[in-house]
Chain A
Amino acid sequence: MTLQTIARAAEGHEIPVVHPIAADGVFSWLWLIIALPLLGAVVLLAGGALAKGALDKVGHWIGTATAVGSFALSLTLFVSLLGREESERQIGQHLFTWFQVGGLDVGLDLLYDPLSALFLLLITGVGSLIHVYSIGYMEHDERRRRFFGYLNLFVAAMLVLVLGANYLVVFLGWEGVGLASYLLIGFWQHKHSAAAAAKKAFVINRVGDIGLSLAIALMFTTFGSTDFAVISEQTGSASQSTLNALGLLLLLGACGKSAQVPLQAWLLDAMEGPTPVSALIHAATMVTAGVYLVVRSNFIYELTPVAQTVVVIVATVTLLWGAILGCAKDDIKKALAGSTMSQIGYMMLAAGLGVAGYPFAIFHLLTHGFFKANMFLGAGSVMHGMNDDVDMRHYGGLRTYMPVTFLTFAMGYLAIIGFPGFSGFWSKDKIIETALAENWVVGLCALAGAGITGFYMTRLMLMTFFGEKRWEDGVHPHESPRLMTVPLIVLAALSVLGGVLLLGDFVVEFLAPVTGAAEHHEPPLPAIVITLLAVAVVAVGVGAAWVLVGRREIPRVAPTEVSFATRAARADLYGDAINEGLVVSPGRSLVGGLTSFDRFGVDGVVEGGSAGVGGLSTILRRVQNGFVRSYALSLLGGVLLVVLALLAVNLA
């Protein structure tokens, strides 16, 4: 069967329709990719009751093995997919009917196409590396088995999310990763801050989930189905306002999961989780789910310029917001988290730009997955050597003490600032170029963001690895064990080489069956000029960092006499205050009002009502006095009542 496309002349290009062919051969093992880590999670979490001792010893190896197994399978499928005709690269697998109520018929269906193929590689590949790293990182944690169970659960849920062939299955995975994220942020639940951060992430994600679930409900009422295949075929017939609403609701969902403004506040706090979690969930994979959702729903966004514009605005604000936060944070993980927010802003921006941007959103997502996971794990390695201290003001001069960590981190650093030749250079450059071609204001913002990225990443490098030693007493930094450095080396290599995906426009053409092929827009400046400009802006950022941070003494305690801008950035640009003022306190007042109403109004009616009925009952039962003469009298009264009622109604 060939890939169907609907020509939409007005749009100037074709929006591909999801039309999977049945899975056969090696593709029929698709379900196993999810099943392996799921099985791992079940064994590790539920099996503890049966064989605690044995599982505690080998649990981490089981967890790692299932992730690696999934990776091997994903790689096999990817190679097989490459061997197929372009028109046969959408493969569907129907596992079973999930539920069937009235007109809603939802199957647990999987869809394997170029988009999900790339995600599978990222999730299982980076996931496997992080599993390996965690064996070393979590070695002294007595709940390591449970940690690996949660990690496996996360991987399984994330795979469901990217393999679902209808929005409800995606939602299943979406909620699954939310759960895993909650469990892992709060993994050290004995720390009050970790428990609070987990709760915050959970609550803010619920706000986004409302958007996604409303979108699914709206899809069902509009199209009568939640399948990608059905919806992508019928979006042309839906009204513009419906499509706008769908686009905005999906964006709300994406904002929650991907920490985009205004639902960004949870991501920095989420760094309370163990560092491998930050690397896997809050940098490489889960937080990019929003980007996946927007790209996957291209058949909706392509038809709703309004929602696309909102996506671009949200993305641009976020990429600057996150970058500014990153400049002022002294906590190494929070600085990286701000950077993650900013980089996802880039991806979202590309996704909002439409057909021309989708492939680069995914491309940047992949390269970011490599270099950010690399840097988070590097930060974890540094913390490992510094007795879990996260304050960069207590670091300094670590490059000679932790050479492997330093070198791998440097690869990630060069990649993220977009040093020519490194993976981030290719992906970010493409996004800036596309943005400039579409809208120069957005393009300039993206360009400025690149400069700020250069600044804060250089600041981070300088404070951590260069300059004076500002260590706490009794800290003896040392290189991390092999189990932790090997994943770092692999990820560093990927950070350097990730750009090969762009060779011969591979990623663009590979994704074309999903995202559609863009007609070429001429950027306002020649591409090479834009590239040079971007490099120049980054160089300015790096230089500024050198001047402001590298050449000065770094105080061990953060100075308090600082400019307003620094204060604002340290306070997350008052994101929490905004939430507090706009949502939390009005919400609290509302809830307070409702509780009082419930206590006095509702309870009053209910309890007063029951007291009244009881009282009435006590009075009425006196009539039942046991004397037959009274009963006869009441009977006679009844006769009168009946007869008079009949006469009154009819003779009146």
Chain B
Amino acid sequence: MTDFVKPVIDYFELLPLLVVFGVACLGVVVEAFAPRSARYVAQVVLALAGLIGALVAVVLIGQDVEVYADGAARGILAVGGTIAVDGPTLFLWGVILVLAVAGVLLFAERHLDGGVSAFAGQAAALPGSEAEREAGSRGLDHTEVYPLLMFAVFGMLLFPAANDLLTMFVGLEVLSLPLYLLCGLARRRRLLSQEAALKYFLLGAFSSGFFLYGVALVYGYAGSMDFTAINESVRNDTGNSSLLLIGMGLLSVGLLFKIGAVPFQAWTPDVYQGAPTPVTAFMAAGTKVAAFGALLRLFYVAFGADRWSWQPMMWIVAILTMIVGAILAITQNDVKRMLAYSSVAHTGFILTGFLGVQASADLAPGEVSALQAVLFYLATYGFVVLGAFAIVSLVRDSGGEVTSLDRWAGLGKESPVVAAAFAFFLLAMAGIPLTSGFVGKLAVFSVALAAGAWPVVVVGILASIIAAFFYIRVIKAMYFDEPVGDGPSVVYPSVLTATTIALGAAATLMLGIVPGPLLDLAGLAGQFLR
């Protein structure tokens, strides 16, 4: 047993993490000491400042980072090799932070529901009780959601940067726990919301258990938690390979659960539907980006040398995910559930890119690498899904949001702008040219093809065709169906939600027309640092 060596902490490179974590803690302090009336503004400003500060730090680090092997990789391994601040990490950090800023804007929206936020006035009050009514009449608001969001963001930043199994587990939990809580905080339909939170928590804990078991098995195989050391062992093929394979499988369960791959997707529709829509938007975008980052790092860095053993399993999962996601979405009558299944199908598409990994020597010059394609897809999808859920929060009646598809009929007449924006996001999800979704799909499918995964690509294309059906069905309902009864009404949002929607739409359009810069940026990120 070697002696404990005090790790060198690279404060500059870890600045984004530290800022977000610091602001989260500060938020708790504000909650404790600031008067109720001042909390809302203080929390929102604090969160936005923290996120933007972290974003600036990411950009600064990106400009100042060490470059290896002529741009093949860049960055450093910080804190004794437990956190890798390399190109992909910085790219993902940037994406997560931008999505988080948009998330804060959605959280802070108080215009839609008569001057209060989408969160419960007093989460501890039982649904339907006197206390709840009182909290409602007093216009109370849970401003704790901002520190919770910041903790989740911290977890999301840590997750894809983690370079050993324990740090990854910590990231996983830090990202998940605040989200479990946030899911249960809806102001309207609280029972549904609480049920969703509990389900998410139970299943999340269950899958985390598998992840931990996998950590133990892989440690047993490699004798180390460190990805570099695991990679070393895999390369040298020491130890019991069943241990490795089972461990690898269990680790993947934890991550596949987070990204919502089949057969670990069961929670997705219930949670997406039950959670307050701002939380759904933030979670759908941010969690997917972070968890895919972690999945990429774990399998490319730690198990990259053994990719022949895990690629077939990923083929099966990707095919199942695309098929089940697309097919189940067809019969959904609820817009949020439909979007949840669509998110499952998108997980499958991203997985298609993920399993398209090839040795860098096999890549033609200028060919898009699997990592590049996945990073690009994640960025584009994040904006699309955030914008789509933001629009869902606008369509309401007296009972709150209206998510039943029947009630969306005739939205094109009621509010042409909102309907057009939603139709645009749906077309992007369907992968229609001139939207970012098309470029993303093209990128992931072509890398998978180049790696010889044509069966997966064929299924992917079939799934895209099926998926196009239910996206277009919503467009048809909005534009060509007669409204039922009074029809839905669109509440015009404050500048906060409007900014988010505009940001999503602009990113989707720009990345569809000129995808070059972002693709180049994803390429510039280079490979993972080992």
The verdict on B416 contacting chain A, using a C-beta distance below 8 Å, is no
A614-B330, A645-B312, A650-B309 given; A628·B202 CB < 8 A: yes
Q: Residues of A contacting B330 with CB < 8 Å?
A: 613-614, 617
The verdict on A25 contacting chain B, using a C-beta distance below 8 Å, is no
Interchain CA distance A614-B328 in the complex, whole Å: 8
Which of the residues B264, B327, B466 comes within 8 Å of A638, measured between beta carbons?
B264
Q: Would you call B245 and A650 a contact (CB within 8 A)? A: yes
A614-B330, A624-B328 given; A645·B316 CB < 8 A: yes
Q: Would you call A631 and B331 a contact (CB within 8 A)? A: no
The verdict on B68 contacting chain A, using a C-beta distance below 8 Å, is no
Q: Residues of A contacting B466 with CB < 8 Å?
A: 613
Interchain CA distance A623-B270 in the complex, whole Å: 13
Which positions 604-652 of chain A face chain B at CB distance < 8 Å?
610, 613-614, 616-618, 620-621, 623-624, 626, 628, 630-632, 634-635, 637-639, 641-643, 645-647, 649-651
Interchain CA distance A643-B327 in the complex, whole Å: 25
Interchain CA distance A632-B198 in the complex, whole Å: 13
Q: Would you call B327 and A646 a contact (CB within 8 A)? A: no
Q: Residues of B contacting A616 with CB < 8 Å?
A: 327
The verdict on B313 contacting chain A, using a C-beta distance below 8 Å, is yes
A613-B466, A638-B263 given; A646·B316 CB < 8 A: no
Interchain CA distance A634-B329 in the complex, whole Å: 19
A613-B330, A635-B264 given; A642·B253 CB < 8 A: yes
Q: Residues of B contacting A620 with CB < 8 Å?
A: 324, 327-328
Which of the residues A621, A632, A639 comes within 8 Å of B250, measured between beta carbons?
A639
Minimum distance in angstroms from A611 CB to a CB of chain B: 11
Q: Would you call B252 and A642 a contact (CB within 8 A)? A: yes
Q: Residues of B contacting A634 with CB < 8 Å?
A: 263, 266
Instruction: With CB as the reference atom, state the residue of chain B lying closest to A632.
Output: B206
Minimum distance in angstroms from B321 CB to a CB of chain A: 11
Q: Would you call B331 and A646 a contact (CB within 8 A)? A: no
Q: Would you call A617 and B245 a contact (CB within 8 A)? A: no
Report which residue of B199, B256, B330, B466 has the largest number of chain A beta carbons within 10 angstroms of its beta carbon: B330
Minimum distance in angstroms from B37 CB to a CB of chain A: 39
Minimum distance in angstroms from B342 CB to a CB of chain A: 13
Instruction: With CB as the reference atom, state the residue of chain A lying closest to B331.
Output: A617
Interchain CA distance A342-B313 in the complex, whole Å: 76
Minimum distance in angstroms from B369 CB to a CB of chain A: 24
Q: Residues of B contacting A626 with CB < 8 Å?
A: 270
Q: Residues of B contacting A650 with CB < 8 Å?
A: 241, 245, 309
Q: Would you call B266 and A635 a contact (CB within 8 A)? A: yes
Interchain CA distance A628-B271 in the complex, whole Å: 12
The verdict on B210 contacting chain A, using a C-beta distance below 8 Å, is yes
Q: Residues of B contacting A638 with CB < 8 Å?
A: 253, 256, 262-264
Q: Would you call B203 and A642 a contact (CB within 8 A)? A: no
Q: Would you call A642 and B317 a contact (CB within 8 A)? A: yes
Instruction: With CB as the reference atom, state the residue of chain A lying closest to B241.
Output: A650
Interchain CA distance A617-B469 in the complex, whole Å: 13
Minimum distance in angstroms from A238 CB to a CB of chain B: 34
Interchain CA distance A649-B203 in the complex, whole Å: 28
A614-B330, A617-B330, A624-B328 given; A646·B248 CB < 8 A: yes
Which positions 230-254 of chain B face chain A at CB distance < 8 Å?
241-242, 245-246, 248-250, 252-253
The verdict on B227 contacting chain A, using a C-beta distance below 8 Å, is no
Chain A interface category by residue count: 20 to 34
Minimum distance in angstroms from B253 CB to a CB of chain A: 5
Number of interface residues of B (CB under 8 A): 40
A617-B331, A643-B246, A646-B310 given; A624·B266 CB < 8 A: yes
Interchain CA distance A632-B328 in the complex, whole Å: 19
Instruction: With CB as the reference atom, state the residue of chain B lying closest to A633.
Output: B266
A643-B250, A650-B309 given; A631·B266 CB < 8 A: yes
Q: Would you call A628 and B199 a contact (CB within 8 A)? A: yes
Minimum distance in angstroms from A613 CB to a CB of chain B: 6
Minimum distance in angstroms from A616 CB to a CB of chain B: 6
Q: Would you call A643 and B245 a contact (CB within 8 A)? A: yes
Minimum distance in angstroms from A538 CB to a CB of chain B: 67
Minimum distance in angstroms from A334 CB to a CB of chain B: 52
Minimum distance in angstroms from B336 CB to a CB of chain A: 14
A641-B316, A646-B246 given; A610·B309 CB < 8 A: no
Which of the residues B249, B263, B264 comes within 8 Å of A646, measured between beta carbons?
B249
The verdict on B257 contacting chain A, using a C-beta distance below 8 Å, is yes
Q: Would you call A635 and B263 a contact (CB within 8 A)? A: yes
Q: Would you call A617 and B327 a contact (CB within 8 A)? A: yes
The verdict on B207 contacting chain A, using a C-beta distance below 8 Å, is yes
A632-B203, A635-B207, A647-B242 given; A641·B327 CB < 8 A: no
The verdict on B269 contacting chain A, using a C-beta distance below 8 Å, is yes
Report which residue of A610, A617, A620, A647 has the largest number of chain B beta carbons within 10 angstroms of its beta carbon: A617
Minimum distance in angstroms from B262 CB to a CB of chain A: 8
Minimum distance in angstroms from B120 CB to a CB of chain A: 22
A626-B270, A647-B245 given; A635·B312 CB < 8 A: no
Q: Residues of A contacting B269 with CB < 8 Å?
A: 624
Q: Residues of A contacting B119 with CB < 8 Å?
A: none
Q: Would you call A628 and B198 a contact (CB within 8 A)? A: yes
Minimum distance in angstroms from B499 CB to a CB of chain A: 35
Minimum distance in angstroms from A544 CB to a CB of chain B: 70
Interchain CA distance A649-B317 in the complex, whole Å: 14
Interchain CA distance A646-B309 in the complex, whole Å: 6
What are the interface flags for B194-212 relative to A under an 8 Å C-beta threshold, 1 for contact and 0 otherwise?
Answer: 0000110011001100100
The verdict on B267 contacting chain A, using a C-beta distance below 8 Å, is yes
Minimum distance in angstroms from B300 CB to a CB of chain A: 17
Q: Residues of B contacting A632 with CB < 8 Å?
A: 202-203, 206
Q: Would you call B253 and A651 a contact (CB within 8 A)? A: no
Interchain CA distance A1-B242 in the complex, whole Å: 83
Instruction: With CB as the reference atom, state the residue of chain B lying closest to A636.
Output: B206
Instruction: With CB as the reference atom, state the residue of chain B lying closest to A645.
Output: B313
Q: Residues of A contacting B206 with CB < 8 Å?
A: 632, 635
Interchain CA distance A650-B234 in the complex, whole Å: 14
Q: Would you call A635 and B245 a contact (CB within 8 A)? A: no
Q: Residues of A contacting B203 with CB < 8 Å?
A: 628, 631-632, 635
What are the interface flags for B316-350 relative to A under an 8 Å C-beta threshold, 1 for contact and 0 otherwise?
Answer: 11000000100111111000000000000000000
Q: Would you call B250 and A610 a contact (CB within 8 A)? A: no
Minimum distance in angstroms from B459 CB to a CB of chain A: 13
Q: Would you call B331 and A621 a contact (CB within 8 A)? A: yes
Minimum distance in angstroms from B263 CB to a CB of chain A: 4
User: Beyond the given A617-B329, A643-B246, A647-B245, could you list 18 further A-B residue pairs with CB under 8 A, ordered by the A residue number?
Assistant: A613-B330, A617-B327, A620-B327, A624-B328, A626-B270, A628-B203, A630-B266, A638-B263, A639-B250, A641-B263, A642-B256, A643-B249, A646-B310, A646-B313, A649-B309, A649-B312, A650-B241, A650-B245
The 3 lowest CB-CB distance pairs between A and B, nearest first, are A638-B263, A631-B266, A643-B249
Q: Name A's B-contacting residues (CB within 8 A).
A: 610, 613-614, 616-618, 620-621, 623-624, 626, 628, 630-632, 634-635, 637-639, 641-643, 645-647, 649-651
- A–B Cβ pairs within 8 angstroms, 24 of them: A614-B330, A616-B327, A617-B328, A617-B331, A618-B331, A620-B328, A621-B332, A624-B266, A624-B328, A626-B270, A628-B198, A635-B207, A635-B253, A635-B257, A635-B264, A639-B250, A639-B253, A642-B249, A643-B246, A643-B250, A645-B249, A647-B245, A647-B249, A649-B313
